[in-house]
Amino acid sequence: MERDDDESPAHVVKIGNPYFLAVHEVTNAEYEQFDSARKSWRNKFGASPGGDHPVTFVTWDEADAFCQWLSKKEGKPYRLPTEAEWEYACRAGTTTKFSFGDDLSAEQANLGVSKDGKKPQATMPVGSYPANAWGLHDMHGNVAEWCLDWHGPYEAGEQIDPMGRSHGYARVVRGWSWQLQSMTAKRYARSANRSGHLPDDANRCVGFRVVLGEMPDAKPLPPIVEPYQRDVKQIKASTEANKAPTFMNWAERKKNPAIPKDSWGPMFSQHNHFAAVTFCPNGDLLAAWYTTVTEPGREVAMACSRFRAGSDRWDDASPFFDVPDVNDHAPVLFCDGKRIFHFGTQSLKGWDDASNFVRGSDDNGVTWSQPKIIIPRHGPLPLSQPCTCIVDRKTGAMLLACDGDNHRDERVAISEDGGKNWKVQPGDMRAVATRYVIHPALVQRADGSLLSFMRGPHPMPAYASNDLGKTWSEVATPFPGIGAGQRVAALKLASGALVVVSHDNKTAITGGVFAALSDDDGATWKHVRKVDGVHGYMAMTQTPNGMVHVFGTRMSAASFNEAWLREGKPLEARP
């Protein structure tokens, strides 16, 4: 299947507004007339070394600013092309997959391999490849190109000079690039393919070209409102607790979220994994996960479900977040009592080569701030999947535990200003580990120290830090190790008790999935119970009414309260 979900429905587009499109992508030499400091970015990470190579590491706003500067300099209306203008020029009168026909060779476009198809390469000087029928070079490959539009679904019916959506979180990029260094990537370089990036995601694969022409007259389409954003009550959560021991297996009740069978975008029924869950200030629950065909695939998106306070079931799954043709891996959700934070990655190579982003909602997930890159992929300590977020009780600093890029390290990023600015702490859990560890589940103990439970060989690895992640030491746990397809969840309850939910791979505790409770920050575990209904990569939260909710792989979910868990027997009493 070549057509992606966001390329439908097919519709007629007419270009009524005359414009000129640049023959080449903007080069380093041209851009440096606008910003001389950009010269220091030449040849970063092997991209764009020469003055005649396309400029890279340019945000959408910087590309737009260049157009404004050029307009003022020459007294002419320069801007970025609309998505429709770009595709019209790329096709150059063709209706085939590419402007050169239904196939594309290494001699016709730079998709990261040499013209003989034998050696990898990065950017090439503009004009190194044949022009299309209208004299435009590198409309397929070399670097992807920023467009004017926000990404969003197409509308059916004939359109004239369409302008995309009025708002969104990803800007459209077109044409694909050298980044995958394989001709198998040519499906992303099709004339119709729609890619995108967050506006501030400057990277080595994206540049731009300019349009000379007035802005089209058409009005942008309204932004999309997904089901989880609709009919959300803006009230304060109830704190009335159910004191009787309570446990709910939502699968057994047939009240889990669902994705329709054989779905192929924007959500996928095939593989739904890596869960996140948080309470909302109004008492709702919000869960998210990634939905895909294959984990390293570029189709990876995020889906979500809302459990509305007072309801008896999870809503069916809803699209949550997707930057097209970017691996949107590893959601983490966290609520500080007032604001919901959503963390994730923008990965260019599987789930690695990643930038981490954050966005926030102050109205229970109805609207969100523009996502912001907080840990860039070209920084000194790049990170990949975020795994857990907590707040330091003493300073109020936010702590985000993450896997390192390419799984080289395990670190904590810290923000001391409410999530606006972040730095990566120097302490690496992997550096003190005696075995392979991954996916930190972070909690804070009563004395202020951090405790991180990890996936790894038996017994379950754990690490402690007395300085908010600057240094780490290994600590012992009584839990079985866990492996592929599994992730431990840990949570400090409002009562002060510590809960761990994980898999009993040794069938030594309860079998299946267990929950263990400690009143002394992990020194002893006096209450353990089996938790049916949830599995895989798990996340956990506690609502203001005291209920504990666990969400896992394949949209599995279970809920219980502390009273139910305290009915469990001590861990040491188990065979």
State whether 344 and 444 are in the same domain. yes
Contacts of 1 (CB under 8 A, 6+ apart): 264
Is 512 within a domain?
Answer: yes
Q: Does this model's pTM top 0.85? A: yes
Count of domains forming the chain: 2
State whether 263 and 207 are in the same domain. no
The mean pLDDT value of the chain amounts to 95
Q: Give the domain-ending residue among 212, 237, 269.
A: 212
Report d(CA 359, CA 302) in Å as an integer.
14
State whether 192 and 322 are in the same domain. no
What's the gap between Cα 437 and its chain centre?
22
State whether 472 and 335 are in the same domain. yes
406-444 pLDDT per residue, tens: 889 999 999 999 999 999 999 999 999 989 999 999 999
State whether 424 and 516 are in the same domain. yes
* 235-240-245-246 Cα dihedral, nearest 10 degrees: -20
What is the CATH classification number for the domain harbouring 140? Answer: 3.90.1580.10
Is 261 within a domain?
Answer: yes
Q: Give the domain-ending residue among 157, 183, 212.
A: 212
Can you spell out the DSSP letters for 130-195? ---TTS---SSBSSEEEEEEEP-PPPSS-EES---BS--S-EEEES--STT-SGGGGGGGSTT--E
304-361 pLDDT per residue, tens: 999 999 999 999 999 999 999 999 999 999 999 999 999 999 999 998 999 999 999 9
Report d(CA 245, CA 559) in Å as an integer.
11
In which domain, by residue range, is 481 found?
A: 227-570
Can you spell out the DSSP letters for 256-298? S----TT-BSSSBSSEEEEEEEEE-TTS-EEEEEEEESSTTST
507-550 pLDDT per residue, tens: 989 999 999 999 999 999 999 999 999 999 999 999 999 999 99
**Average pLDDT rounded to a whole number, residues 253-262:** 93
By mean pLDDT, which of 150-154, 250-254, 372-376, 453-457 is the weakest? 250-254
Is 461 within a domain?
Answer: yes
Question: Quick check: 225 and 167 in contact, CB under 8 A?
Answer: no
- pLDDT beyond 70 at 14: yes
State whether 320 and 439 are in the same domain. yes
Q: How confident is the model at residue 566 (pLDDT cuts 50, 70, 90)?
A: very high
Is 62 within a domain?
Answer: yes
State whether 379 and 320 are in the same domain. yes
- pLDDT beyond 70 at 574: no
Is 575 within a domain?
Answer: no
What pLDDT was estimated at residue 110? 97
Rg from Cα positions in the chain: 25
Is 222 within a domain?
Answer: no
- Whose CA is closest to 502, among 457, 534, 472, 463? 534
Q: How confident is the model at residue 293 (pLDDT cuts 50, 70, 90)?
A: very high
- pLDDT beyond 50 at 476: yes
Q: Give the domain-ending residue among 155, 183, 212.
A: 212
Question: Quick check: 338 and 362 in contact, CB under 8 A?
Answer: yes
184-218 pLDDT per residue, tens: 899 999 999 999 999 999 999 999 999 999 999 99
State whether 329 and 456 are in the same domain. yes
Report d(CA 490, CA 285) in Å as an integer.
17
State whether 56 and 186 are in the same domain. yes
- Whose CA is closest to 346, among 574, 220, 512, 173? 173
- pLDDT beyond 80 at 575: no
389-410 pLDDT per residue, tens: 999 999 999 999 999 998 899 9
Is 219 within a domain?
Answer: no
State whether 154 and 288 are in the same domain. no
Is 220 within a domain?
Answer: no
Give, as one character, the DSSP assignment of residue 89: H
State whether 259 and 184 are in the same domain. no
- pLDDT beyond 50 at 571: yes
Question: Quick check: 395 and 383 in contact, CB under 8 A?
Answer: no
State whether 368 and 310 are in the same domain. yes
What is the CATH classification number for the domain harbouring 437? Answer: 2.120.10.10
